[in-house]
Amino acid sequence: MGKILEISNASVGYDDDIILRDINFSLSDLDFVGVIGPNGGGKTTLLRLLLGEIKPVKGSVKYFPMAPNETMFGYLPQVSSIDHKFPISVLEVVLSGLLGRKRIGGRYTKHDKKLALEMLERMSIADLRGKAIGELSGGQMQRVFLSRALVSHPRLLILDEPNTFVDNKFEKELYQLLKELNKEMAILMVSHDLGTITTHVKTIACVNRNLHYHPSNVISTEQLAAYDCPIQLITHGTVPHTVLPKHSK
Amino acid sequence: MFQIFKDFFDFQFITNAFLAALLVAVAAGLVGSYIVARRLVFLSGGITHASFGGIGIAYYLGLNPILGAAVFAVLTAFGVEALSQKFTVREDSAIGILWSVGMAIGVFFVFLTPGYAPNLMSFLFGSILTVSTQDIVLLLILDAAMIAFFILFYRPILYLAFDPVFARTQKVPEKLFTYILKAFVAITIVLSIRLVGIILLISLLTIPPTIANLFTKRFDRIIYISIIVGFVGAILGLVVSYGLNVPSGVTIILALTIIFLISRITRYVMVKIKTQYA
């Protein structure tokens, strides 16, 4: 148990176009952070910064690995970023989640395949293992990409809008699953869905050019206004929620 | 018909053409499967056409045209990225620009070259007469290098093509791999010019994987089937090219198109039968 990563005074972007300014943020084991904020506010940029995809122009991102060979991240990208016609099978996709553990050019072992198949079974989609990615429904595809993210047992699971393109049944299962996973790993989830976020996460990060960390899953209109975080609301059914007025800057 | 086949192999240039067809089919199968899966077809078209600039300049200076084409092809492959990233030109616009600028430079220097440029048509549409032993050796080296690379790094290549962001989180050296693969694309294009020519080359790369994709959704099988299809198409094309005295690029592409149509119909019938008896 301990700190996983720490961002200090980091700015991201180009000289004339700073997307995130002077952000401070840290993540520890078993955290469950919901990331909210308007489109174009820098949510995806924050994920790319965490993943080490982009370097800050100012400030630093520090990682605190516990074991030399641990898998730090499991990453679930937005489904819309995936080429659905790509010739690749479900099992191959899940196996790609183990690539980081290998030397470059290393072969997959029987054990790797067993891990991948167990993961598919846990997601109850083992029967789809030979299917091409393009033959799946939205919910099935999300399960496959979640399997890929989880197969290496990461310390931190990063989810970019996991509840888009999926049916209600899968969404319920997803949150149940995340609750279980959170007993073993930290989770950071980007979502448009404030209602869902507040019922499932432990803490909230509001991202809109700046980052305001809110150390609770209850957030009020006034606080959102103070954080300058006008978010788009999508609500489903009976989840308790408050519809917040759009506030001026 | 048999007589044509018998005459066919009596000539050294025919043997060369046959060997070239086999070697080009391997390179084109590997590169074609990759560019189709990763949606780099337009970039490859740009590289192909821009390489004509190198051919024109080499003609003018009296150098080996294939060498000139190689320089231009590699410059274009990397120039598109430089243009779109350093000068913020949109990527498809950058490809379009280099595509026609290369052709313009080529035609410009061909016209400045004193005397008649007899091989121009063969560079545009391919010719079996022009395949030299040196081309065969170069193709052999390219094939060996590419087969080794694809066998050693099959998984990183596949995963990088499928989802580069995720591949990077799995410690795949994206930049290095993308550069190596781009270089392979450029060199494959240049060494295929003799056989099919600049204008028709892109179909040699795209038709075989498209046919393969009708029957399998697995990347490795697409590569194998593409190589076989490409080889069959090239041989059929060469025989017709020899028999009718038509540029080989034209006959090879038409042969591949006919194979595609037959495959499409076969696939349609297969699915019909399957659903009827399922």
Q: Which residues of chain A does B172 touch, with a Cβ-Cβ cutoff of 8 Å?
A: 99, 104
CATH of the domain at B62: 1.10.3470.10
* Tally of domains in chain B: 1
Indicate if A33 and A88 belong to the same structural domain: no
B37: closest chain A residue by CA = A86
pTM of the entire structure? 0.85
CA distances from A32 to A13, A142, A184, A199, B47 (A): 26, 20, 11, 11, 48
The dihedrals phi and psi of A34, each to the nearest 5 degrees, come to: -95, 130
Residue A148 lies in a domain: yes
pLDDT in tens, B36-46: 999 999 999 99
Same-domain check for residues A193 and A213: yes
CB contacts, 8 Å: B170 with chain A? 96-97, 99-100
Query: Do A160 and A149 lie in a common domain?
Result: no
Do the Cβ atoms of B234 and B252 come closer than 8 Å?
yes
Nearest CA in chain B to A79: B163
**Quick one: residue A39, left, alpha or beta (phi over 0 = left, psi -120 to 50 = alpha)?**
beta
Give the number of other Cβ atoms within 10 Å of residue B156's Cβ: 22
Does residue A237 carry a pLDDT above 50? no
Q: Best mutation site among B152, B153, B166 for testing chain A: the one with the most A CBs within 10 Å?
A: B166
Nearest to A84 by CA among A44, A137, A146, A48: A137
Report the domain count for chain A.
Answer: 2
Q: Does residue A167 sit in the same domain as residue A249? A: yes
Domain that holds residue A34: 1-72+154-249
Q: In 3D, which of A191, A136, A182 has the Cα closest to residue A159?
A: A191
Q: How confident is the model at residue A235 (pLDDT cuts 50, 70, 90)?
A: very low
Are B156 and A82 an interchain contact pair (Cβ–Cβ within 8 Å)?
no
With residue A34 as reference, give the H or E element that holds it: strand A32-36
Torsion of CA B185, B191, B194, B200, to 10 degrees: -10
Q: Is A244 on the interface with B (CB under 8 A)?
A: no
Residues A161 and A232 in one domain: yes
Residue A96 in any domain: the answer is yes
Is residue A101 domain-resident?
yes
Spatial contact of B48 and B125, defined as CB atoms under 8 Å apart: no
Give the B window 183-242 contacts with A, CB below 8 Å: 213, 216-219, 222
Q: Identify the pLDDT of residue A243.
A: 53
Which of B162, B169, B222 faces A75 most closely, judged by CB atoms?
A: B169
Do A116 and A162 belong to one domain? Answer: no
Final residue in a domain of this structure, among A104, A130, A153: A153
Q: Which two tokens stand for residue A27?
A: 């993540």
A53 and A163 in a common domain: yes
Does the residue A77 lie in any domain? no
B35 touches B150 (CB < 8 A): no
Give the model confidence (pLDDT) of A145-191 as tens digits.
Answer: 999 999 999 999 999 988 777 777 888 888 889 999 999 999 999 98
Taking an 8 Å cut-off on Cβ atoms, the answer to whether A73 and B37 are in contact is: no
Query: How much is the pLDDT for A244?
Result: 53
Which position has the higher pLDDT, A154 or A101?
A: A154
Could you tell me if A107 and A169 lie in one domain? no
Cβ within 8 Å, pair B37-A86: yes
Q: Which residues of chain B have pLDDT under 70?
A: 1-10, 116-119, 278
pLDDT at residue A232 is higher than 70: no
* Mean pLDDT (whole number) for A26-38: 91
Give, to the nearest 10 degrees, the angle between helix B154-162 and helix B219-244.
90
- Nearest C-alpha in A relative to B210: A87
- Residue A247: inside a domain, yes or no? yes
Residue type, B228: I
**Residue among B186, B156, B149, B161 nearest B173 (CA):** B156
Q: Does A138 touch chain B (CB under 8 A)?
A: no
In terms of domains, do A60 and A159 share one? yes
pLDDT at position B205, please?
Answer: 96
Contact call for B218 and A81, based on CB within 8 A: no
Kindly state whether residues A87 and A132 are assigned to the same domain. Answer: yes
Query: Which residue range is the domain that position B222 belongs to?
Result: 2-277
